[in-house]
Structures are given as structure tokens and as C-alpha cells.
Amino acid sequence: MAKADHIKKLVASFGRNQEFRAATLRIIDDAANQGKRPFAESLRKILDANVRHDYQAVPQPGLTTLASQIDPAADLLDEVAVTRGLNDIVLNPDMRLLIEGIIEERRRSEELRRHRLPISTRLLFSGPSGCGKTLCAEVFARELSMPLYSARIDVIISSFLGETASNLRRLFEFATRKPCILFLDEFDALARTRTDTAEHNELRRVVNSLLLMIERFKGPGLVIAATNLPQFLDEALWRRFDDILSFDPPTEREIELLLTRQFANFPAHFDVSTTISKLVGMSYADIERICFDAIKKAVLKKRKSVSETEFAAALRQETRRKSLTSNRSL
């Protein structure tokens, strides 16, 4: 049962979409936490189908495509399809707490604002590739029911240096107009400290205006910057973010969770815990690929489960692939 308080809030928020959505999301969360997933999911669908976000423009037939075409930042962004939520990401306990805390804060931002408390709007994700930075941006979008836009860093870094700052300005203006998750992947490419180039002064100006834009960004959505190369980030940037989340390769505990998840629908016919030690040091994406390869092998042999031999072959394949790609980057 939903808690009495939540039902009271729901009724009290009648007529105010954003508060009504927040109150319903609390009930959905409670149901999901109590293991009532089918109910939680159907309520979520009913909510999304019937209760508009305040920021969703009333659709005007024929105008929506036009509006997106003429948005002054449309050339700088790609909208990313959002399907995966908190249940689809494996996280260590500290990260889970941190991420759930940010989501809760955003969902209940009205309450916090009433107490004049600041709300996290700027996040920096750092960590090696394949460890969930992009996935986590999707999770935020899904959990907060906001669209996810990925910035086209290559377009933003214009060949005319003078345009880079104005491109960034257009991007941040977009995220100020439209509640969304603005994802700045490969952030290091934008925010490098390049002291050794002839264009030093101009680049310095770009980094400085980026610093200001991040500092001034107050929502309504979230700006998430991600980097695999934190060592290249301008030092002054770190302080501009409300939270820094470090996405590390999985430890044994997370590897076990990931394997359990991967073999949930197509079982492994051996004790997968015996393979965990061989997977330490790999990224989530690597391990996921090994599982997919092993399952593929079993499916092609028309079997109903993965054997230890298939898993070992998939692991060898991944190790070979890795050694080829690392040789190339030497």
C-alpha cells in the first residue's frame, strides 16, 4: 500500500502537474521497493500517458518537427533514445547511494527550493571507458522523465576558434530553455588546458567562458559532463560541478551482479562465480561482450544454456581483441 502521506500529497497537488507527477512518482517508488513491479510499471505508464510535464509544450500538429528544425541549437545536439533505468545499471553501494540521492533530490526539488536549498544541476562523470558513464546519463533521463541530448563535441569545437564559445553559449541556452539532461561526452576535448599551443590565449578564453556557463547553470534539467581523461581537465573546472562521480571498473562483487544479470534470461550451466577472478580489471562493457558472445555461441549450437567451454572461448576471444586494440594504440 502507498503511504498515507503520499496519498495526501497526491490529492493536495491536484491541478499542479509537476507536483502531481512528483507525488505519483513517490508512490511508484514505494511500490517498486515493495517488489510490486507490475503495478509500479503500469502506474508509470498511466502517469506518462496522462500527466504532462509542465515544460512539455502542448503538441500542435505539424509544428513539432518544424520547431525542432528551427531550434537554434539543433545542429549541436543529438537526442538519444532512453530506455534503461536504475534497475539496469550495476553500481557499487557508494555510487548507488550517491546516484539515488541525486535522483531523489531532483524529484523533490520543489520541496528543497521552498527551503531555499541549492539543487545539484551540474555533474562530472569520470572513469575509464565502458564503465557506465553514458549509461548513467540515460538512467538519469529515464528516472527523471527528461529527454537526453548528447552534445556534438566535434561540431561545437569549430574550426574557427571564435565560434566555439558562441556554440557553447547556444548549447547552454538550449538547456536553460528546455528541461533535459544535457550530456557533454569527451568533455576533456573541450576543457583541456593547452598551455603549449600558439592559440593559447584564444583557447584560454574558451575554457574561461565554459567555466562561467557551468557555474551559472541552474537547470531546469541537468548538465552532465563525462571524461575518460580526467588528468587533462583544467583544474579550475572541477570546482564548478556540484558532484563528481567516479565510474570505476567492477570489483568482484559487481562482476558477480553483472554476470547474474547477463545470464538471467539465458542461463549458464556452470558455476559462474569460478570465472569472476579472471574478469577482474575488465570494464562492464568488456564483460557484457564476453557474456553476449558466450550466449551467441550456445544459441548457434541450439542449446538452452551456456557451458563453461563456450564462456572460456568467449573470454579468449575478448582477450585477443583487447591485445589487438591495445597494440594499435601504441
Ligand X SMILES: Nc1ncnc2c1ncn2[C@@H]1O[C@H](COP(=O)(O)OP(=O)(O)O)[C@@H](O)[C@H]1O
Question: Which one of 202-210, 269-277, 283-291, 312-320 is the stretch in contact with ligand X (CB under 6 A)?
Answer: 283-291
In terms of Cα–Cα distance, which of 277, 284, 279 is closest to 247?
284
Map the footprint of ligand X across residues 220-239, applying CB under 6 A: none
184 sits near ligand X (criterion: CB under 6 A): no
Decide if residue 183 touches ligand X (CB under 6 A): no
Structural contact between residues 156 and 190, judged by C-beta atoms closer than 8 angstroms: yes
Give yes or no for residue 249 binding ligand X (CB under 6 A).
no
Rounded Cα gap, residues 17 and 20, in angstroms: 5
Q: Which residues lie across from 244 on neighbouring strands?
A: 124
134 near Mg ion (CB under 5 A): yes
Return the amino acid letter for 77. L
Cβ atoms < 10 Å from Cβ of 225: 28
SS3 of 180-191 = CEEEECCHHHHH
Instruction: Find the binder of ligand X among 241, 263, 284, 311 (CB under 6 A).
Output: 284
Q: Which residues contact 136 (CB under 8 A, 6 or more apart)?
A: 89, 99, 125, 224, 245, 247
**Rounded Cα gap, residues 46 and 48, in angstroms:** 6
Interactions with ligand X, residue window 132-171 (CB under 6 A): 132-135
For ligand X, the nearest residue by Cβ is 132
Written as nine digits, the cell of 136 is: 548513467
Strands 243-246 and 122-126: parallel
Nearer CB in complex with ligand X: 251/273:
251
Q: Is 179 an interacting residue with respect to ligand X (CB under 6 A)?
A: no
227 lines the binding site for Mg ion (CB under 5 A): no
Does residue 90 interact with ligand X by CB under 6 A? yes
HSE-CB at 265 with a 13 A cutoff on CA atoms is: 6
Q: How far is the CB of 138 from ligand X (least distance, A)?
A: 8
Cβ pair 123, 242 in contact under 8 A: yes
**1: nearest Cα among 27, 20, 37:** 27
Interacting partner of 263 out of ligand X, Mg ion, none (Cβ under 5 to 8 A depending on kind): none
Q: Is 228 in the site for Mg ion (CB under 5 A)?
A: no
C-alpha grid cell, residue 305: 544454456
Closest contact distance (angstroms) between CB of 131 and ligand X is 5
284 contact, one of ligand X, Mg ion, none, CB 5-8 Å limit per kind: ligand X
Q: Give every CB contact of residue 152 below 8 A, 6+ residues apart in sequence.
A: 75, 76, 77, 78
Can you tell me the distance from the alpha carbon of 136 to that of 40, in angstroms, rounded to the nearest whole number? 21
Q: Which stretch binds ligand X (CB under 6 A): 8-16, 124-132, 201-209, 216-224?
A: 124-132
Among Mg ion, ligand X, none, residue 221 binds (CB under 5-8 Å by kind): none
Judged by beta carbon distances under 5 to 8 A according to partner kind, the member of ligand X, Mg ion, none in contact with residue 40 is none
Q: CB 247 → ligand X: shortest distance, Å?
A: 6
Mark the segment that binds ligand X (CB under 6 A) among 31-39, 73-81, 123-131, 156-164: 123-131
- Which residues here bind Mg ion, judged by CB under 5 A? 133-134
- Which residues here bind ligand X, judged by CB under 6 A? 89-91, 129-135, 247, 284-285, 288
